[in-house]
Amino acid sequence: MVSLVLDRLRDDGIDAVPDVPFMSRCIDLVIFLDQDCINVVEFKLIDWRRGIVQARDHLLGADHAYVCLPVRKPSSSLLVAFEDSGVGLLFFDPNREEPFQEVVSPRRSDTIWPPARNWLIQAARAGVEKGESAWGY
Amino acid sequence: MGLLDAKSGLHLVRYGISADQRYLTGEFLGTYDAAAINGNMVAHIPAALAQFLGDRATQAQVKPFIIDPLTHAFQHDPSKICTTVETEEGAETQPKASIRKMSDAFGEPVASRAGTEAVLPSDFNDPGLRDAFCQRVVSFQLDTINNQAQEKKFMKYLRHIGIDGMVPDVVIAPYFWMTPATVGEWQPINRAFIESAAKHARGASVWAQLVITQDLLLSKERRDALAKEYGSSTCQGVLIWVDQFSEHDASYEHLSAFAQFAQALSKTYTKRVINLYGGYFSILLCQLPEVGVLQGVCHGLEYGEDRSVVPVGGGLPMSKFYLPAYHRRLRFGDAVRAIQKLGGFDSVDRYHEIICDCVTCREVITGNPSEDFAAYGNTTPIQFKRGDQVVTLNYPTKETKDLCLRHYLHNKRKEFEASKVATAIDASQELEKHYEGAARLLGAGEAAYLKDWPRVVRGLTARSS
C-alpha cells in the first residue's frame, strides 16, 4: 500500500519519503507539505489500534500524524478511538480518482520536542540523499 | 554469619556477563551490597573474577557475592544452551563454552547430557548420584574462585588485612524450575538438594533457589504447600525467581499472591527471602520489617527486573529511560512526553528537582534541559533484512546506552537508600500521586501498578496489625 500511495503522491507533485527511522520506530511515510508542516502516515491493513500508538509516538517530531487504512465501512469504535487520540484517519482507495479520504482530521501536535524534530528532518533528508525522494528539502 | 543471613533491605546486582563488570566497580562499587554472579561466568573466567574481587577488597572484606549455579539450564530444550560453531566438517551445534565448563564441573547426570538432551527428574532418582552431584555443585561455588585467588599475588596483601580467601556469602543448593505440570516431580528432588547441600557446605549458610511459574503462586493451596516445603527445610533463606514476573505488568492478584507467599516464608517459617528479579515493588516489600516479607532484592543491569526462565530471543535494543517518579523504564518517547507533562524541561533546576538529580543527570542536564535530555535518546540508523525487505531502524548509541544504564543504577541506589528512611506507606502515597498523570500518558492498564503496589502494601500492613 505504501508504494501505491507514494506513486500517487508523486503524480500529484507532492514529495514524500518512505521508511524514515525515527527514535525507536520507522515511519512509513513522511510528507513535507512545506518547511513548517511535517505530516507522517502509518499504513495498516488490520491492526489500526497499534497504528494509533505508533502514529502518536511520531508527534514528538511531526505536526500531524495519520493512520491510513484500506477503504472500509468505519465502525463507531474506530471513529471514537481516532477522535480521542488526535491521530488522523485516512482511507485509501486506489480505484478512485481522489484516492485519499480524510475520515478523521488530526489535531496539530502539542508535544513537539525540538531535538526530535531535528532528528526527523535529518533522517528524512538522509532518505532523500539515498534517492528515496526527489524532493529537495 | 553472612551478609544475606543478617542484613535487611539488601541490594544485590547480577553479574551476568563480563561487560557488566564496569558497572559493578568504580563509582558503582558502593551502590550495592552484594553481587550475584552467574555460574557459567565462574566456570569460564574464574581468574578474572578473583582479580575483580581481589582488586576491590577493602576494610578486611571482599565485596560479598553469591554464585547462582544455574542448574536449571540443563532441564530446558538443549538448543537453548548451544551455539553453532564452524568446524572443518561444517557447522556444528555445541554447548556454549562457559556452559560446557560448568556442566563438566557438576558431573553426572548433567555432564553427558548438556547440549544433547534435557535432564529429567528421574535422572536424580539414585540418592547416591544425587548427593554426589549436590556436593560438586556446592564445591564449585566454594572453591572455583577461591582456588584462583590463592594463586594471586594479592592474596599476600589480603591475608595481611585478614582475608583468607574468596568464598561466597552463602551457598545455593542445586535447583530446577517448577511448573504446575512438573512440581510434583521436581519438588522432592529440589528439597533433597537442600538437605544434601547442608551436609557438604563446610559450615557455609545454605540457601534454596525457588524458580517457579506465576500460576503456581495464584493457587493458595499450591502456594501454601510450597511455603511449607521450603519453610520446613534446613535452608537459611530462599531466593525466589518467578518466571517473567514483571512487577509493572502483573495483576493485583499476582502481586498480592507473590507478597503473601514471601510473607509466609519469611514470617511463618522465619526464612530470609530475596527476590532475585525485582524492582521497586520488591523494595517496598523490604520496607515492611514488622510485616516480614522480603529481606532483599536483586536485579540485572539491563531490563533486569524480571526475567524469563527459558531464554528468549533478545529483540531489538531500544532507548529506554528510567523515570524515577514512575519507578519504571519508559520508551524514550514516553519519557519525553512524561517529562514535558511534569514540567521537567522548564529549567535545569526544575529538571533536577522533579525529574532526577542523580550523578549522571547532573552531568548531562546542565544548560537547556530539553536539548540536553537528547543525550539519553541519541541513536544511529542500522539497516537489516526483514524477509525480502531492507529495513532501517534506529539503535541507541553506545554512549546513550551507557548514560541510560548509569542513570538507572544511580536511581536504584537512591531507591534502596530512601527505603531505609521512609515507610512503605509514605512511599505508596507518593506512587499514587503519579497514577493519573501516568494513566493519561500510558493508558490506565499500563499505569495500574501505581495503584496496585500501594494496595498490596496496605493489605499486608492491615493483615499484620
pLDDT tens, residue by residue, A91-130: 988 888 888 899 999 999 999 999 999 999 999 888 766 6
CA B13 to each of CA B28, B175, B192, B237, B276: distance values in angstroms, whole numbers, following the listed order: 11, 20, 28, 18, 9
Please report whether residue A74 resides in a domain.
yes
- For the four alpha carbons of B169, B171, B176 and B178, in that order, the dihedral sign comes to negative
**How much is the pLDDT for B434?**
96
Q: How many residues does the structure list for chain A?
A: 137
Whether residues A60 and B370 touch (CB distance < 8 A) is answered with: no
Please report whether residue A137 resides in a domain.
no
Tell me the backbone φ, ψ of residue B268, rounded to 5 degrees. -70, -40
Among partner residues A23, A60, A111, which is closest to B379 by beta-carbon distance? Answer: A23
* Residue B339: CB atoms within 10 Å: 24
Q: Return the closest-CA partner of residue B283 out of B404, B179, B172, B430.
A: B430
Please report whether residue A15 resides in a domain.
yes
State the residue range of the domain holding A49.
2-129
For B65, half-sphere exposure in the C-beta direction (CA atoms, 13 angstrom radius) is 30
**How much is the pLDDT for A134?**
41
- Chain A CB contacts of B443 below 8 Å: none
Q: Which of A25, A29, A113 to mutate to test the interface with B (most CBs of B within 10 A)?
A: A113
Looking at the complex, does the CB of residue B377 fall below 8 Å from at least one CB of chain A? Answer: yes
**How much is the pLDDT for B319?**
78
Nearest CA in chain A to B330: A24
Whether residues B381 and A116 touch (CB distance < 8 A) is answered with: no
Rounded to an integer, what distance in angstroms lies between the CA atom of residue B422 and that of residue B418? 6
**How much is the pLDDT for A137?**
38
> Which ipTM value was assigned to this complex?
0.83
DSSP per position, B285-312: HHT-TTT---SEEEE-SSSTTS--SS--
Please report whether residue A54 resides in a domain.
yes
Nearest CA in chain A to B336: A113
Whether residues B370 and A126 touch (CB distance < 8 A) is answered with: no
- Chain A CB contacts of B318 below 8 Å: 24
- Chain A CB contacts of B394 below 8 Å: 21-24, 123
Looking at the complex, does the CB of residue B375 fall below 8 Å from at least one CB of chain A? Answer: no
Whether residues B374 and A26 touch (CB distance < 8 A) is answered with: no
CATH number for the domain including A70?
3.40.1350
Looking at the complex, does the CB of residue B371 fall below 8 Å from at least one CB of chain A? Answer: yes
**How much is the pLDDT for A136?**
41
Name the minimum distance, in Å, from the CA of B443 to any CA of chain A. Answer: 11
**How much is the pLDDT for B60?**
60
Name the minimum distance, in Å, from the CA of A97 to any CA of chain B. Answer: 30
DSSP per position, B120-139: -GGGG-SHHHHHHHHHHHHH
CB B141 within 8 A of CB B126: no
DSSP per position, B161-225: TT------SSEEPP---B-TTTHHHHHHHHHHHHHHHHHHSTT--EEEEEEE-HHHHH-HHHHHH
Q: In angstroms, how far is the first alpha carbon of chain B from the final one?
A: 31
Among partner residues A24, A60, A123, which is closest to B318 by beta-carbon distance? Answer: A24
Q: What is the pLDDT along chain A (137 residues), one digit of tens a residue?
A: 677 777 777 777 777 888 899 998 889 999 887 768 899 999 999 889 999 999 998 999 999 999 999 999 999 999 999 999 999 999 988 888 888 899 999 999 999 999 999 999 999 888 766 655 444 43
pTM of structure: 0.91
- DSSP code of residue B84: E
Residues of chain B with pLDDT under 70: 57-61, 303, 312-317, 465
Helix, strand, coil proportions of chain B in percent (round to 5)? Answer: 50, 15, 30
Q: Return the closest-CA partner of residue B180 out of B223, B127, B209.
A: B223
Q: Return the closest-CA partner of residue B435 out of B455, B418, B416, B420.
A: B455
Looking at the 3D structure of chain A, how many domains does it have? 1
Q: Return the closest-CA partner of residue B329 out of B318, B315, B314.
A: B318
Rounded to an integer, what distance in angstroms lies between the CA atom of residue B302 and that of residue B22? 13
Q: Return the closest-CA partner of residue B237 out of B215, B269, B259.
A: B269
CB B136 within 8 A of CB B198: no
Record the cell numbers describing residue B398, joined without a space: 553506545
CA A37 to each of CA A122, B103, B342: distance values in angstroms, whole numbers, following the listed order: 15, 61, 27
Please report whether residue A135 resides in a domain.
no
Q: Return the closest-CA partner of residue B377 out of A110, A24, A134, A25.
A: A24
Listed in sequence order, the residues at least 6 apart from B65 whose beta carbon sits closer than 8 Å to its beta carbon are: B15, B34, B35, B36, B37, B53, B168, B169
Whether residues B370 and A113 touch (CB distance < 8 A) is answered with: yes
- Chain B CB contacts of A113 below 8 Å: 336, 340, 370
Rounded to an integer, what distance in angstroms lies between the CA atom of residue B278 and that of residue B246? 8
Listed in sequence order, the residues at least 6 apart from B388 whose beta carbon sits closer than 8 Å to its beta carbon are: none
- For the four alpha carbons of B84, B87, B90 and B93, in that order, the dihedral sign comes to negative
